[in-house]
Each structure stands twice: as C-alpha cells, then as structure tokens.
Structure 1
Amino acid sequence: MSEKFSNNSRSGPTVTESVDRLLRLARLFGVDRRELAVRTRLHLPCYADGAGAVSYWEAASVVISNALRLRKDQWAVRDLVPRREYALSELEFRQIGDDAGRVFDSLHYLRNARRGSLNFALVDKDTGAPLTLCSASPLEWKRVADQVVQQFGVPQAAVWDVSRVYSFDGAPPNAVSYLLARVRKFLQKRGDVELLTTVVDPNLGFTGSSYLASNWQLWMTVRARPYLYYRGRYMSLRQMWAAFPSVRSIDELCALDRKARRSQVELRDSLIFCCRIRGATERVLPEHQHRILR
C-alpha cells in the first residue's frame, strides 16, 4: 500500500495498517492474500480524496468486494489452480495458447489478456498446467518507443513489450525471473527483436525485483495517469476505448457518464524496465533516467 494513503484521524490505525488487518480476511474467503492485496491497492484510490484519505469502512468494503470477486475468478479457472507447491525442476518452459487467456482474463489484476500476444509459461511437466505465465507482443506505446529510439538507438520495430505476468501461489519463488530468462532466449532465436520492455506500477506494491534478477534494468519512468473506474471497478484505457470508441480521455468519460470516476490522489510514476535480447543490459543512472510525460 502506498504511504500516500492515510486516514483523517490522528489517533488510531492508518489506512495502511487497517487494510493489512483486513487482508487477513483472505483466508476466510479462500483466496490468495497477495492477489487480494494487489486488487485492493488498485481499487482504494477510487475512494480516496486528493490527500489520500479513505475511511475504514470504505477500505473494508474494497477488501471484501475484491475478495468475493477474486473467489469467483478463481472458481472460473479452478481446473488450472495448482493444488500443491512446485520446485523449479518439476516445470518446463513452453509457448502456450488458450490457458494463458483464461488465466489473464480471470486472475490478472488488469483482467484482460493482450490479444495477439505470444504467451509463454512454466508448466507442470506431467499435466501441462501453467504455474507462471507471461505474454509478449510488439511495443505499441509510442512515447516509450520514441524515448528508446532517441536515447538508445533501438527502432520501435525491434522492441517487444512484456504486457502480462502472472504466477500462481504454488510456483517456486524464482519462477518469474527464470521464465523471463527463457523468453529472452526464445526471442534471441527469432532474430528480429533487440529489446524487451515492461511497465511496473509501484502503487500496487510491485518493485521490479524479478526483472532485476533476470538481466533487466530501470531505464525511464512515466508520469502516472489517474486510475479509471466504471461502476466501481477498475477500467484500463484499452477497455475504455473498446467500450466507448468516441471517448478520447478519462476526464471526458467522467464528464459524460456519472458511472465513471477517476482517482484524485497523486500516484507514483510507472517504472519502465528494459532488457537487451543479446548481451548485458546497461544500467542507466538515475540522473540519466528520463521522465516521460503523458
């Protein structure tokens, strides 16, 4: 939980402390506490004011509603949910198909698979069930692509983006970094990809440690865009444009539709991690990391 979230009362627990206590409800609902924490962090800004204040009861409502939905989402892919913990030696790297879409559409916090992507996973050698998954596709984010071209000389056509990563609770601790390393080797054989990028949102508790462990480096940041909610549920820009083709911005949708709402609290910048497909990925010092404005 971002430290920017606090409650108005100077006595008693902060919202961060209250949410940490509320997340203990994960066990009662039979859901993974880590996944519930991410979904809670994503939805709390819907109720926070500009100073980041959220009432205890609003926080409780967010935790409970997300626990209920997560339980429903887990049930939708119950045949894929692992029943035990795995060692890395029990898994093998594969390119997969429909199972990736099912997992990302149900369990990833953004809840929508990136269509047209290549999907990869570490799977159970015996059953083929995925434990840790990711998807990659040509980079479409023009502002990031322009900065990569200008600062690092890599053409956009040679840059791919890791847009989704998900790891089940039964996967080994180093599964994500190992999967990313295998994806890098896979793309080396293609010959047309020079660089991988990905976006890490620190507002959701992510740090990028799995990327750093597999030859990635922090190259730039992007000014945070407000989160958008529709009927109280997070909506990505892709989902907004698909549902409202004539709308150009979050603020425009919020002005047109009372069921739409944007976050008011200041959010931390997104982190752009990059990885060279061949050779070591150079470290970019903080003073040389550009901040991209949206």
Structure 2
Amino acid sequence: MQKAAAFRISAAESTGHLLALARLWGVDRRALAVRTRLHLPCYADAAGQVTYRDALAVVVSNAARLRRDQRAVRDLIPRREYALPDLEFRQVGEDADRVFGSMHYLRNARRGSLNFALVDKNTGTPLTLCSASPLEWKRVADQLLLQFGVPQESVWDLSRVYSFDGAPPNAVSYLLAQVRKYFQKRGDVELLTTAVDPNLGFTGSSYLASNWQQWMTVRARPYLYYKRKYMSIREMRASFPTIRSIDELCAADRNATRSWAELHDSLIFCCRIHGATERVRPEDQHRILR
C-alpha cells in the first residue's frame, strides 16, 4: 500500500482553528483550508512533519492572500446562505473567469473551456462553478482508449470546480448532473473525466453522488513552489519555457523549491455521458506514471 505524509501540524490545521482564522480574516473557510493544505508541503520534512510555527505562518499568509483575492470578486461573494431551489443552471462567461482567476487554487481555467454554474435566480451571481475543456492529458487518454475503448477526441475534462461558502452542501453534485445533461444534448462527447487530489482534503464524494466512478490513479508529482507560493506545471512551462522539469527549475533558480514528503496519488474519476458509469474494482484500476 502506498504511504503518504499526513502533514501533521498539531492544532493549527484543525477545523476549529481554520474556522476561527477564516472568521478573523473574513475569508472563505473552504478556500482557506485547500490553500493551507497546498502550501504545507513546502515546509514539511520528508516524513511530512511541519512545526507549529511554520504551520501557523502558512495559515496566516494564505488567509492574507485570500483576503486580497476576495477583494477582486467582492461583488460576487454571497451575502447569505442558499438552498438549491434558489439556484438555476447556466453557462457563464466573465464571472466564471473572475472567480477562477481569484479564488481557485489553480487560478485561471484552461483555454477553450466552457464554464457552467449554479447562479442566483434573481441576480445571476454564481454560487458553484465548474470549467470543462477537451482532455489534454495524454497518458490518461491512452489508458481510457486501451482499457475502455473511449477515444481522446470524445473526452472532456473538468479541470476547475469552485463553490462559495454560501452554496448548499449538495450544490456540486447537482451542478455535475446538469453538466452531464448539457453534454447529452450536445452529442459529441462520450465521457467526462476529472482529477481529485486527496492531499488537499478532496475525496470525490460529490462525483460519486453524480454517476461518476474512480477508474484509475496517477502517481503524485511533487508540488512546486516559487517564492514560497504554489506554482502549477502549466505556470512553470509558461514562465520558464526552456525548463523541462521541477527538479531542473529548482536546480537553476534558488526561488524555486519542491515538496519532499511522499504524496497520495491523484484519483481519476470518470462519468459516462449516456447510461450508468461502471464501477471499476480497485484491483482493476491502473496506476499511471507521470
């Protein structure tokens, strides 16, 4: 069984502490939790241990950064809690770009994406959003074709999902069901995929509630940080076009660091556009290497 670091940080990562700090800083609790977990490995040793002082610094720095990001979309932040009957499904544009660009831990959605949301029926303000684009991940695509017979050109990938604190608890699963209906009507897509990172506290429960199943896993890549801020591989390639790997960048630039503790594999969830999505037994799920 694969081992992975738990990133223990004593009481600093507990729900109570994060909730109290989120209230103190006036920031979205769930967004703060994800960003904290994303940046903890920057300070963790190979066993996944982080000192209380470093952990607290991670929480506070991310709360401050999140508060600045929230200001950019302050007109879109919910002022109350919503129930599902208050919301309707729509395809959205600029508002989604603003939310993903400021609030999502991976930032902007991919080029060529379609954005969907559950919005306030009266104001059109998005509460829960997702972004879908044609699947680009070649190794995942190759496994889908080999094991399930689904060609890459028939697969779209959900690369961004974000839900504000004011959204109802089952908003994500409801949004996913509506996105599936959209692609059923569209007619040119057979399968939806997404990657779930359990290191950030994600379990895939909203996907399981919406006809999705886990079909494979992908070996974790170290997290990359530039000036102590997380940097995605897409950002690295755009900012350093001659650099080929995380280790190469870390060797070439002292501002770049990587995580050393072992991480959990990413989970690849899939959803058939038509019919039920078959369950794949754990022993039949392939582990894809990076």
TM-score (norm 2): 0.96
Aligned to 1:145: 141
2:253 paired with 1:252: no
Identity %: 77
Q: 1:174 to 1:22 in 2, by over 3 A?
A: closer
Aligned to 1:94: 90
Aligned to 2:5: 4
Unmatched 5+ stretches in structure 2 = none
Aligned to 1:9: none
Aligned to 2:156: 160
Q: 29, 32, 38: which is aligned to 2:34?
A: 38
Runs of 4 or more consecutive aligned structure 1 residues displaced over 3 Å after TM superposition: none
Give the whole-Å Cα distance in 2 for the aligned partners of 1:127 and 1:75. Answer: 19
Deviation at 1:16, TM superposition (A): 4.5
Unmatched 5+ stretches in structure 1 = 7-13
Instruction: Provide the aligned length of Structure 1 versus Structure 2.
Output: 286
CA-to-aligned-CA distance 1:249-281 (integer Å, 9 cap, x gap): 101100110000000000000000000000000
Give the whole-Å Cα distance in 2 for the aligned partners of 1:90 and 1:37. Answer: 26
Aligned to 1:10: none
Give the whole-Å Cα distance in 2 for the aligned partners of 1:130 and 1:50. Answer: 40
Deviation at 1:15, TM superposition (A): 1.2
Partner secondary structure for residue 253 of structure 1 = helix
Aligned to 1:286: 282
Aligned to 2:13: 19
Q: 201, 223, 228: which is aligned to 2:219?
A: 223
Q: How well do the aligned residues superpose, as a CA RMSD in angstroms?
A: 1.3
Give the whole-Å Cα distance in 2 for the aligned partners of 1:70 and 1:102. Answer: 14
Give the whole-Å Cα distance in 1 for the aligned partners of 2:260 and 2:10. Answer: 18
Partner secondary structure for residue 164 of structure 1 = strand
Equivalent position amino acid for 1:19 in 2: E
Deviation at 1:4, TM superposition (A): 2.4
Contact 1:132 1:175 in 2 (8 A): yes
Contact 2:4 2:262 in 1 (8 A): no
TM-score (norm 1): 0.95
Q: 122, 129, 143: which is aligned to 2:125?
A: 129
CA-to-aligned-CA distance 1:212-245 (integer Å, 9 cap, x gap): 0000000000000000000000000000001011
